[in-house]
Amino acid sequence: MKYIFFTLRDFNKVGGGAIRIYGVLNALAESGKQVVLISNAKNHDQFHPSIRHITLHIGFKRKALLQGLLAFLPSTIMTWLFPQLFSRCNDIFTHVDQNNSKLFFFEYLDNSIGYILKRSGIINHYVNDVHGVSTIEFDYLRKNTTSIVRKVIYHFKYVLSERLDRKVFEYADGIIYSSDAMRKYFEDRYNIRRARAYVLPNLLSGDAGRFGIDEQLRDQLLQDMQLLPDSFVFLFAGGYKPTSGVDDLVEVFHQLLRTYPHLRLILIGDGPLKKKVCGLIETKGLSDAVIMIDSVPYALLTTYQSLANVLVCPDRYNAFSNLIIHLKYLDSLISNRIVVNSRFDSVDEINKDDKLSVNFAASDVADLYQKLEICILDYRKLMEKYKGTRAYALEHLSYRSKISVLTD
């Protein structure tokens, strides 16, 4: 049995999607399975050496157009509208023994391509990996924007996305969900019980613990940031999305600072909410206590995490986060630091009874304040409680430990 994966990704940028692909493929290859990746990857250094690569040589840029049209048009017309892409796919899959292979399509655009290929008779089955839900994103945006024009645009995108998902997922032979909560969400929403369900959360790659602390850089950062031995540091690293809760974290930090003047806050990231966060920091006079950094190379994240006492994942409640475990949470679990995070159904699947981290009620600023204050007051006790979190996460929350769900 061969495990054949398809994605248009070129892997030039490292992000959550790429890390998931690396993790799944490498874990399968390490277990002795025959793995083939069809992609635009040119550099294969991050892949297991046994993986066979087939290069698409298709720099496809019309993602939104293809998906928007597919919501209404049949697959036969799609192959005519995008001949180069589907001619190349036909050339590749003609030489694949599909009856002795499992065909997986990784990302949202890839899912649509799998549907078109099956409906066109180029492949005889496909399994979709679902780790994003565009309908939830557009639904949130249309409900929370104040602009009438944007509300109309987001509503139109929501309708297109809903129609597309129904076509693509209801015709799939299998679906990989990022949590059991996500499986329930999709099965309640669409007629997809015929598709085999796999639950494979976002997890750590097999070599997630390879990055150590750069002590020289750490010493320099401590000096540059003027962090003293008695400073108590909170750190957030992630995207400044509208639902990220970074603004809530700044509000709570401001309240805590009145009682605990030795507190410091490091914020790493960028995004649409950053302007608001910068405004909060300025109006509340927090410039001396808050350190803002636009981005940090992934290889150095561990070093920056080591500056903090507590890592905070303060996401506000939203339907998407309730279905998926964010990479920033997993990265935090292997930091050897206390982690405070919003409670979601997806997180509860691995963090029952606060086994790995301190949960607070999502969007509840008062509860966030309480949990962060507990971290200050009971710091040593909590460090002792969570001293085994890193080892547990590396052993039990890696793709290597869960990959059998795709092979059983």
The kind and range of the H/E element at 55 are strand 52-55
pLDDT tens, position by position, 17-67? 888 899 999 999 999 999 999 999 999 998 999 999 999 998 888 888 999
Q: What average pLDDT does this structure show over 67-91?
A: 93
Could you tell me if residue 190 is left (phi over 0), alpha (psi between -120 and 50 degrees) or otherwise beta?
beta
DSSP 8-state secondary structure symbol assigned to residue 137: H
pLDDT band for position 137 (50/70/90)?
confident
| Alpha helical stretches, state H, 148-285 | 148-170, 180-189, 215-224, 246-259, 274-283
Q: Identify the CATH number of the domain defined by range 208-396.
A: 3.40.50.2000
Q: Select from 240, 288, 236, 295 the least CA-distant residue to 263.
A: 288
Check pLDDT > 80 for residue 206. no
Instruction: Give the tens place of pLDDT for each residue, 348-357.
Output: 989 989 999 9
pLDDT of 191 reads: 83
Judged against a pLDDT cut of 90, whether residue 222 lies above it is answered with yes
Which of 19-33, 100-114, 318-332 is the least confident region? 318-332
The pLDDT score that the predictor gives to residue 136 is 79
Specify the higher pLDDT residue, 118 or 139: 118
Query: Taking 90 as the threshold, does the pLDDT of residue 211 lie above it?
Result: no
Please tell me the number of Cα atoms within 13 Å of 62 on its side-chain side: 12
* Confidence tier at 193 by pLDDT (50, 70, 90): confident
Work out the pLDDT band at 153, boundaries 50, 70, 90.
confident
2-200 and 208-396 share one CATH topology? yes
Strand-pair partners of 290: 265
pLDDT for 74 = 92
Q: Tell me, what's the pLDDT at 260?
A: 97
Statement: residue 14 has pLDDT above 80:
no
What is the mean pLDDT of the segment spanning 330-343?
Answer: 96
Mean pLDDT, the chain, integer: 92
Q: Which tokens sit at 270?
A: 């960028």
Q: How confident is the model at residue 283 (pLDDT cuts 50, 70, 90)?
A: very high
Q: How confident is the model at residue 251 (pLDDT cuts 50, 70, 90)?
A: very high
Domain ranges (residues) in the chain: 2-200, 208-396
Whether pLDDT at 132 is above 70:
no
Annotation: CATH topology of 2-200: Rossmann fold (3.40.50)
4-32 exposure pattern, b = at least 16 Cβ within 10 A, e = fewer:
bbbbbbbbeeeebbbbbbbbbbbbbbeee
What is the value of pTM for the model shown?
A: 0.84
